């Protein structure tokens, strides 16, 4: 009720003496500030939209071209070779337009057309340059002259101070591999797993597919690649994620940990206040497109498409397939604590709540001693269980009334926050602390994270934090980039007082968090309990063992002139072979964000060379020199030759 009263700018009461009108100056002030903020945001978005629309040129370059054209005409030189006069002839006749004015307008029109032509030329040139990928396969520290020239050209045509989405129109499309390359790579990936007889059978099947079905399917694939920005990403999202009917908890969602050795404050509300404020600052820059785009080697831009749905996004369950709901300008988040849901407004007077104000709001929730309503405690387990029961329950029990209002508050929130009532984190004195910390972030109690939200921020009782992320909308590097920024701002920029509180003064005029209300009948409670049992069984089946390896790191591996990724892949295969006595089909994700709307591709790291290395490691008669010289060197040469073939195919 307090929130409703503060939101009203004026009240009137009809009395026998007339109408009693009362104005709320504070409410009017907030309305004014909110309006100013809204228009300021629109102006910034408009400005940034123009900057991205003309990139890699700049808006000021238009003025430069206009002045150059006008100056040349003043010097009686026509750089348009007669085009300005042609434009002048088609201008509508008017008594107000003198001959000189018509000439000026014609010159401006020509200059504008020339400017747009230059922009398109720069973009096309940049797209051609970014289609070259030979630099990836150059020996480390031995860059060829052609690659050096290429890097220089990319830097020249990339312009200055790009925004997050500036390169989207210049990124090349993901090429469709040829049928021969696809068949060859597939047979190569299964060869280490089959004996000679089974492999010959697979060759026959592959060749039959190549002759019969492959040509027709290849035509459809090429047709789609012509009109789609990326011929595979929408299918990847639909069939790999949204159509899965099993639980997304554990099977799909992933987690991100806090700093292992640093706890900025042990006050739960204070840590939540700083982290949430840092997230809001990150979101503001993201919505304006003001983050710098990621670049490989500081030169090659990565696609930024996945950042668009980081906030205000929820996976909505369906009977046959789910969908992703993405909204804009959501100004609240929903907080879960001890079985209760609270709605917290993130803005006050047209600005973000400050860290101390957020701490005050979260402390209010922590101090609340009310009990959960019937069915509320484990409500979020619906998002942890199978998708079909959740979809049917959502249609039947959450389509109207108070349940719909509360569910809408969750699904339209900027993100979800859990104030966990347990302490977690890495403690060197407790051997299993890492295991419990990871499992908590991965699945929690199976009902204290809203697994459908784009991400759930978890802040523990002892001040540690982490993130559980839904996988459909983006891959791990996207949330990782945000999390690095948040942790840096939390510790280095925002900081805490000596008592561990957020810096700043307490605002007593804030509206306290609003408790969400539910009316969950017994039938729905049975579905909630069933989903919880499914999720609990899945969580109990997770056997996690994590530890901090301190013997050496990637620095030593690089000194040996070996890729840390290749080192880990070989170590995994060696460990698996020692455990199982056989090899298996190995999946390693590879980022394809150098292409427009690229996500991931599969790397089959179990190869003939890697299996030969593993067998050599297990062969007691082999020497270290033999293991390194015969296997690793051949593997590197063969892998490089294979990559060069792929580049030529692209």
Active site residues per annotation: 471
Q: In whole angstroms, give the CA distance from residue 544 to residue 108.
A: 67
Structure-token pair, residue 315: 């996976």
What is the per-residue DSSP string for 353-369? PPHHHHHHHHHHHHH--
Half-sphere exposure of 440 toward its Cβ, with a 13 Å CA cutoff?
25
Measured in degrees and rounded to the nearest 5, phi and psi for residue 468 equal -110, 125
Structure-token pair, residue 260: 């292992």
Structure-token pair, residue 458: 């978890």
Q: How does strand 416-419 pair with strand 332-337?
A: parallel
Kindly compute the dihedral angle of the four CA atoms of residues 211, 212, 215, 218, in this order, to the nearest 10 degrees. -120
Question: At which residue do the structure tokens 């001040």 appear?
Answer: 463
Q: In whole angstroms, give the CA distance from residue 298 to residue 214.
A: 39
Is 499 in contact with 330 (CB distance < 8 Å)? no
Local structure of residue 498 (DSSP, 8 states): T
What is the per-residue DSSP string for 535-584? HHHHHHT---------S--HHHHHHTT--HHHHHHHHHHHHHHHHHSS--
Local structure of residue 303 (DSSP, 8 states): P
Helix, strand, or coil here: 424?
A: coil
With 0-12 / 13-18 / 19 or more C-beta atoms within 10 angstroms meaning exposed / middle / buried, residue 598 is buried
Q: In whole angstroms, give the CA distance from residue 141 to residue 147.
A: 12
Helix, strand, or coil here: 78?
A: coil
Half-sphere exposure of 100 toward its Cβ, with a 13 Å CA cutoff?
1
Residues 6+ apart with CB under 8 A from 454: 309, 310, 311, 312, 313, 314, 415, 469, 470, 473
Q: In whole angstroms, give the CA distance from residue 168 to residue 580.
A: 46
How far CA 275 is from CA of 52, 261, 365, 387, 463, in Å, comes to: 30, 17, 17, 31, 11
């Amino acid at each position: 009720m307090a929130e409703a009263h503060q939101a009203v700018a004026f009240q009137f009461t009809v009395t026998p003496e007339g109408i009693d009108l009362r104005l709320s100056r504070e409410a009017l002030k907030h309305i004014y500030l909110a309006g100013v903020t809204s228009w300021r945001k629109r102006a910034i978005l408009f400005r940034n939209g123009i900057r991205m629309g003309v990139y890699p040129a700049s808006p000021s370059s238009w003025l430069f071209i206009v002045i150059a054209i006008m100056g040349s005409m003043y010097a009686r030189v026509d750089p348009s070779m007669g085009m300005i006069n042609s434009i002048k002839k088609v201008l509508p006749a008017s008594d107000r337009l003198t001959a000189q004015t018509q000439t000026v307008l014609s010159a401006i029109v020509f200059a504008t057309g020339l400017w747009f032509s230059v922009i398109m030329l720069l973009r096309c040139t940049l797209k051609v340059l970014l289609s070259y990928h030979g630099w990836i396969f150059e020996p480390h520290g031995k860059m060829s002259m052609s690659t050096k020239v290429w890097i220089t050209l990319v830097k020249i045509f990339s312009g200055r101070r790009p925004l997050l989405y500036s390169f989207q129109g210049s990124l090349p499309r993901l090429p469709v591999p040829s049928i021969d390359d696809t068949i060859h790579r597939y047979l190569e990936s299964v060869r280490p797993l089959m004996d000679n007889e089974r492999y010959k059978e697979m060759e026959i099947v592959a060749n039959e597919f190549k002759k019969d079905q492959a040509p027709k399917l290849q035509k459809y694939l090429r047709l789609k690649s012509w009109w789609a920005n990326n011929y595979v990403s929408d299918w990847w999202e639909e069939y790999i994620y949204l159509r899965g009917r099993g639980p997304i908890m554990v099977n799909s969602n992933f987690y991100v940990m806090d700093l292992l050795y640093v706890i900025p404050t042990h006050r739960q509300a204070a840590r939540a206040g700083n982290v949430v404020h840092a997230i809001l600052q990150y979101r503001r820059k993201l919505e304006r497109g003001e983050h710098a785009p990621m670049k490989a080697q500081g030169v090659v831009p990565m696609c930024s498409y996945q950042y668009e749905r980081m906030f205000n996004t929820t996976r909505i369950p369906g009977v046959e397939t789910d969908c992703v709901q993405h909204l804009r300008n959501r100004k609240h988040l929903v907080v879960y604590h001890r079985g209760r849901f609270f709605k917290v407004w993130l803005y006050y007077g047209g600005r973000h709540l400050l860290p101390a104000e957020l701490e005050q709001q979260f402390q209010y929730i922590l101090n609340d001693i009310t009990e959960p309503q019937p069915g509320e405690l484990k409500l979020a387990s619906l998002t942890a269980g199978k998708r079909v029961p959740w979809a049917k329950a959502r249609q039947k029990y959450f389509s109207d009334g108070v349940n719909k209002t509360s569910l809408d508050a969750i699904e339209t929130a900027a993100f979800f926050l859990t104030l966990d009532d347990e302490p977690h984190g890495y403690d060197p004195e407790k051997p299993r602390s890492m295991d419990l910390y990871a499992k908590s972030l991965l699945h929690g109690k199976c009902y204290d994270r809203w697994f459908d939200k784009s991400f759930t921020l978890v802040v523990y009782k002892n001040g540690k934090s982490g993130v559980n992320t839904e996988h459909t909308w983006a891959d791990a590097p996207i949330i990782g980039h945000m999390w690095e920024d948040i942790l840096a701002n939390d510790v280095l920029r925002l900081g805490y007082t000596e008592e561990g509180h957020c810096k700043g003064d307490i605002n007593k005029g804030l509206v306290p968090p609003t408790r969400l209300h539910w009316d969950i009948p017994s039938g729905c409670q049975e579905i909630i309990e069933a989903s919880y049992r499914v999720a609990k069984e899945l969580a109990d089946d997770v056997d996690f063992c994590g530890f901090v390896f301190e013997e050496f790191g990637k620095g030593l591996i690089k000194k040996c002139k070996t890729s840390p990724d290749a080192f880990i892949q070989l170590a995994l295969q060696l460990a698996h072979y020692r455990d199982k006595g056989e090899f298996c089909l190995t999946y390693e994700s590879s980022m394809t964000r150098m292409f427009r709307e690229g996500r991931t591709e599969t790397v089959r790291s179990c190869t003939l060379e890697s299996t030969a290395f593993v067998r050599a490691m297990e062969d007691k008669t082999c020497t270290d020199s033999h293991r390194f010289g015969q296997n690793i060197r051949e593997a590197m040469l063969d892998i490089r030759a294979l990559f060069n073939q792929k580049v030529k195919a692209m």
